[in-house]
């Protein structure tokens, strides 16, 4: 009797099957590493708790708000975004859109090859490094621009993106008319410009990595995901160590506890 033959793929080639000799089991290979990592993290956290005293604040007083009133460190990136764009955009739309895009990655990248390989190989690692530096420099530049760029219109200083909008409107409108259109300035500076920037930064990066590294779909996704990671890290660092009284930019050694 003829032996059953394996089903061939549409291309006529036999489908590749994973080699059991090249696979490892969850226990002990994965769980043991995770346990050791959790143990090291717990010991390190305990040492920090012993050596660094956390300041105890007064009871909450509704008549006295601390300056600055900072969110927990893991939300400081969102609090930083609130300084640069409309609250609904920074607090709801952008985080929600990012979560949706992250959840969509497995449906976009369906290639099973290199599963479990960090950065999907050496080229992916190079793309990650380039994308991280690219994003970090742009984010820092945008924060500095929004803090120090100013345009004076009729004796009123418009800072950051508001200054860009005011400078453009000044070509067509009088200072008094610009002041009267404060809501328009806020909408363009807090919604339109941030949306353009948030679309342009990853869009340009995707074009660069595709041309420079001949990146495929997975490697392009690595670059775009790195935009999120780098933005999260940089904004958290700025919000934690560089935002002082009234959330102005200061040097870390100028911060007054607790921060």
Assigned domain for 159 exists: yes
Assigned domain for 2 exists: no
- At residue 26, the pLDDT reads 81
pLDDT at residue 174 greater than cutoff 80? yes
pLDDT at residue 147 greater than cutoff 50? yes
How many domains does the chain contain in total? 1
Assigned domain for 213 exists: yes
- At residue 257, the pLDDT reads 67
Task: Count CB atoms within 10 A of the CB of residue 98.
Answer: 16
Q: Supply the range of the domain harboring residue 153.
A: 71-108+117-254
Assigned domain for 51 exists: no
Tens digits of per-residue pLDDT, 23-79? 778 888 889 999 999 999 999 999 998 998 777 777 778 888 888 888 888 899 999
The mean predicted confidence, pLDDT, of the chain is: 88
- At residue 95, the pLDDT reads 93
pLDDT at residue 145 greater than cutoff 70? yes
Assigned domain for 19 exists: no
- At residue 35, the pLDDT reads 95
Tens digits of per-residue pLDDT, 192-240? 999 999 999 999 999 999 999 999 999 999 999 999 999 999 999 999 9
Residue 1: pLDDT band (50, 70, 90) is very low
């Amino acid at each position: 009797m003829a032996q059953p033959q394996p089903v061939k793929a549409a291309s006529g080639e036999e489908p590749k099957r994973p080699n059991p000799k090249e696979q490892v089991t969850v226990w002990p290979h994965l769980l043991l590493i995770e346990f050791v990592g959790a143990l090291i993290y717990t010991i390190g956290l305990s040492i920090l708790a012993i050596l660094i005293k956390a300041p105890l604040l007064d009871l909450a007083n509704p008549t006295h708000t601390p300056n600055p009133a900072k969110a927990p460190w893991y939300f400081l990136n969102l609090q930083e975004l609130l300084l640069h764009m409309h609250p609904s955009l920074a607090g709801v739309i952008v985080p929600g859109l990012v979560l949706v895009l992250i959840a969509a990655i497995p449906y976009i990248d369906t290639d099973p090859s290199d599963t479990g390989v960090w950065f999907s190989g050496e080229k992916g690692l190079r793309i990650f490094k380039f994308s991280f530096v690219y994003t970090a420099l742009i984010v820092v530049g945008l924060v500095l621009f929004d803090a120090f760029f100013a345009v004076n219109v009729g004796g009123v200083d418009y800072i950051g993106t508001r200054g860009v909008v005011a400078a453009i409107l000044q070509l067509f409108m009088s200072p008094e008319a610009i002041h009267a259109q404060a809501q328009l300035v806020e909408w363009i500076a807090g919604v339109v410009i941030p949306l353009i920037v948030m679309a342009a930064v990853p869009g340009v990066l995707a074009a660069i990595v595709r041309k420079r590294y001949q990146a495929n779909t997975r490697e392009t996704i690595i670059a775009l995901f790195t935009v999120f990671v780098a933005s999260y890290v940089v904004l958290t660092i700025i919000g934690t160590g560089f935002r002082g009284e009234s959330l102005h930019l200061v040097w870390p050694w100028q911060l007054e506890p607790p921060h």
